[in-house]
Amino acid sequence: MPDEAATLALGAKLSGLLKPGWVVYLRGDLGAGKTTLVRGLVRALGYAGRVKSPTYTLVESYELSRFVLQHYDLYRMIDPREWLDAGFRDDCNAGTLCIVEWPEKAKGLLPKPDLEIFLEMAGEGRTARIEALSAQGRKEVQTWQGFDS
Ligand SMILES: Nc1ncnc2c1ncn2[C@@H]1O[C@H](COP(=O)(O)OP(=O)(O)OP(=O)(O)O)[C@@H](O)[C@H]1O
Ligand SMILES: [Mg+2]
C-alpha cells in the first residue's frame, strides 16, 4: 500500500468481509496505519461523520445502519483490568463489530479474535496481512476476493 489512500481503500474493502459479532485485532507499530484502516472501513459502512482515533478515550462507537462498530485503542490503558471495569467486555457482543488496536494491553482479558490484521512500515508505504483465527473467519476469508494488496 503506497500511500494513505491505499490503506483507506483496503479498509473500505474490509466492509465486505467483517461481520457483526466479530472481534478483529489490529497489529502494528505506532503509525502503521491501523486507525487509517478503520477510517476507510467506517466510511464505507456509511458513516458520514468524523472518524477520530480513540487514543485518549479508549473507544469510539459508531451506530451504523446495520450494526454498532466499536473501535478501541488500548495503547494508553495502564492496567488490563480497565477493560473489564469500563464495561468493554459487555459492549463487545454478538451484535457489534469490535476492532481493537493494541490488544496486547488488555493481556488475556479480550475475547479471542476472529481475524488479526498486521500492518507494517515498508519504505514510505505499508504492507498488510490478514490472518483468520476462528472457523467463521477462515470460511469468510477463503471466499473473500478483496485482499489483493
Ligand atoms: N499506506 C500508507 N502509506 C503511507 N502512509 C500511510 C499509509 N497508511 C497510513 N499512513 C499514514 O500513517 C500515519 C499514521 O497512521 P495511523 O494513525 O492510522 O496509525 P496507527 O497505526 O493507528 O498508529 P497508533 O498506534 O499511534 O494509533 C498517518 O499520517 C497516515 O496518513
Ligand atoms: Mg491508531
The residue contributing the CA closest to ligand 1 atom 31 is 4
> Is pTM, for the whole model, over 0.85?
yes
| CATH architecture, range 4-105 | 3-Layer(aba) Sandwich (3.40)
- pLDDT for residue 149 is more than 70: no
Q: 74 CA distance to ligand 2 centroid (A)?
A: 9
Q: 118 pLDDT exceeds 80?
A: yes
End-to-end CA distance of the chain: 7
Which residue ranges make up each domain of the chain? 4-105
Instruction: Note the pLDDT tens digit of each residue in 89-114.
Output: 999 999 999 999 999 999 999 999 99
Q: Please give the distance, rounded to the nearest whole angstrom, from the Cα atom of residue 118 to the centre of ligand 1.
A: 13
**Residue whose grid cell is 490472518:** 131
